[in-house]
Amino acid sequence: MNFGKSETQKMIADSIKEFAKQHIYPFQKEWDDKQIFPVDLFKKLGEMGFMGVLVPEEYGGSGFGYDEYITVVDELSQADPSIGLSVAAHNSLCTNHILTFGTEEQKQKWIPKLATGEWIGAWGLTEAGTGSDAGNMTCIAKLDGDEWVINGTKNFITHGKSGNVAVVMTRTGEKGDNRGATAIVVEMGTPGFTAGKKEDKLGMRASETTEMVFDNVRVPKENALGNIGDGFKQALTILDGGRISIAALSLGISKGSYIASLKYSKEREQFGKPISSFQGISFKLAEMATDIEASELLTYKAAWQKENNIDGYTITCAMAKYYASEACVRLSSEAVQIHGGYGYIKDFPVERYFRDSKLCTIGEGTTEIQKFVISRLLLKD
Ligand SMILES: Cc1cc2nc3c(=O)[nH]c(=O)nc-3n(C[C@H](O)[C@H](O)[C@H](O)COP(=O)(O)OP(=O)(O)OC[C@H]3O[C@@H](n4cnc5c(N)ncnc54)[C@H](O)[C@@H]3O)c2cc1C
């Protein structure tokens, strides 16, 4: 068993740190204040290979594995969690869905544009009335000759406006039937496909979240991914990988919170001493560092199991997502506490980590849904 980071992972981490100094840190306050989604940044990330991390080189991707993917999302999220979230959604939801379930023709059509960052991808499962209960979705697709006709609205979609292409889970059968959904690819610009309301969010403000509206949207029959009726099953498979992404995103927020707190606690003096010399503060640092270790081990174990298709990876992915996301909420809160009043103002990064962290216990399956998945698998005969 090797717990160290590979040379490739170290190189990725260093390059993202350098990239962030030039392209993220100078602008992130404005993005956060004004909810700007920096589209051009993703083109640059594409040039660096980070928009197609898990995509084989033959489709224009980097051809890396999950270890490198975790490093990318972790490092970007330390710099700016919104950017980590968008890169994660693009790679592991939209791109990975087409890569995993698409035909060779479908992959050739969409993957190279996504993997190089020329296009940004979106993935639509959630609706206003069905979040955790996604099986009851109401966005309908009906076959009319050689075309699908799609009607309905998807809610809270990352890149629902700026995405160039979306994988959309649609109802093609009966409500509540596990085989009643189909995943269909819809390109932006298709008549009737528009972005609805852009959400004004607590955190992750530089990652775009909007409705996607489908009003008699017609796409070729060939845009369905995999078998008709398999959409829900496919979505669950994609979410296993997505949970590794959110665990990595959480890990980045935890590390960012810890690094800022360690530095600040050594510099800030009260009662004539650095605050790190008080046990009340140093114990917080000890708890934070331990939580990071535990999150990281679980995240890499889930990734290793998924990559090697080892039985039972679904439960580990859910555990990694559950643990790492709850840990990042704890850590970012303690980071604000360690910074005292300065943690509550926008001059220090911990204020943003604190706001951004909460998404991690909600997106791609809430904490309660992760516990539901874990307990159901534990109790299965
Ligand atoms: C910033 C952001 C980005 C997002 N990006 C995307 C995206 O790109 N694509 C996409 O499809 N979705 C996306 N989502 C949606 C996200 O996945 C959902 O918000 C999430 O799955 C929860 O669904 P909900 O909001 O409807 O909450 P609900 O399902 O209504 O849950 C409300 C509460 O009830 C609890 N609950 C529900 N069912 C149960 C149960 N059976 N047992 C116990 N407790 C339960 C939940 O845990 C939660 O605490 C995004 C959301 C946000 C905020």
**Residues in the chain, how many?**
381
Residue 105's CB is within 10 A of a number of other CB atoms, namely 9
Report residue 321's pLDDT band, with 50, 70 and 90 as the boundaries. Answer: very high
pLDDT band at 208 (very low <50, low <70, confident <90, very high): very high
How far is residue 40's CA from residue 117's CA, in Å, rounded to a whole number?
A: 9
Reduce the DSSP state of residue 42 to 3 states and report it: helix
Question: Distance of alpha carbon 282 from its chain centroid, rounded?
Answer: 32
pLDDT beyond 80 at 176: no
Mean pLDDT of the chain, nearest integer: 97
pLDDT of residue 381: 76
Residue 127: active-site member: no
Q: How far apart, in Å, are the Cα atoms of 116 and each of 139, 157, 159?
A: 30, 21, 17
Amino acid at position 347, single letter = D
Contact 221, 266 (CB under 8 A): no
| Ligand 1 contact via 157 beta carbon (within 6 Å) | yes
Where helices occur in the chain by DSSP H, the ranges are 7-23, 28-34, 39-47, 66-79, 81-88, 96-101, 104-115, 231-267, 279-307, 313-338, 349-357, 367-379
Confidence grade of residue 2 (pLDDT, cut at 50, 70, 90): confident
- How confident is the model over 330-356, as pLDDT tens digits? 999 999 999 999 999 999 999 999 999
Phi-psi map region of 22: left, alpha, beta (phi>0 left; psi -120 to 50 alpha): alpha
Ligand 1 pocket, residue 212 CB under 6 Å: no
Pairing of strands 165-171, 209-220: unpaired
Q: What tens digit of pLDDT does each residue of 213-264 get?
A: 999 999 999 999 999 999 999 999 999 999 999 999 999 999 999 999 999 9
Evaluate: CB of 126 within 6 angstroms of ligand 1: yes
- The pLDDT > 70 percentage for the chain reads 100
Predicted confidence (pLDDT) at residue 177 exceeds the cutoff of 90: no
Amino acid 6: pLDDT: 96
Determine the average pLDDT of the residues in 6-33.
98
Query: What confidence tier does 14 reach under pLDDT thresholds 50, 70, 90?
Result: very high
The DSSP string of 208-228 is -EEEEEEEEEEEEGGGEESST
The closest residue, in CA terms, to atom 30 on ligand 1 is 131
**What percent of the chain is predicted at pLDDT more than 90?**
96
Average pLDDT score over residue span 42-50: 98
| Closest to 314 in 3D by CA, of 235, 373, 250, 249 | 373
Indicate the DSSP class of residue 90.
I
Three-class SS of residue 158? strand
Tell me what pLDDT residue 58 has: 97
User: 246 CB under 6 A from ligand 1?
Assistant: no
Residue 381, both tokens: 């005969």
Cβ contacts of 371 within 8 Å, gap of 6 or more: 322
- Specify the ligand 1 atom closest to the Cα of 154: 11
The whole-number pLDDT of residue 101 equals 98
pLDDT of 135 reads: 86
Distance of alpha carbon 209 from alpha carbon 89, whole angstroms = 11
3-state SS assignment for residue 177: coil
Mean pLDDT of 200-220: 98
Average pLDDT over residues 103-107: 98
Check pLDDT > 90 for residue 1. no
Catalytic residue among 75, 127, 351, 364: 364
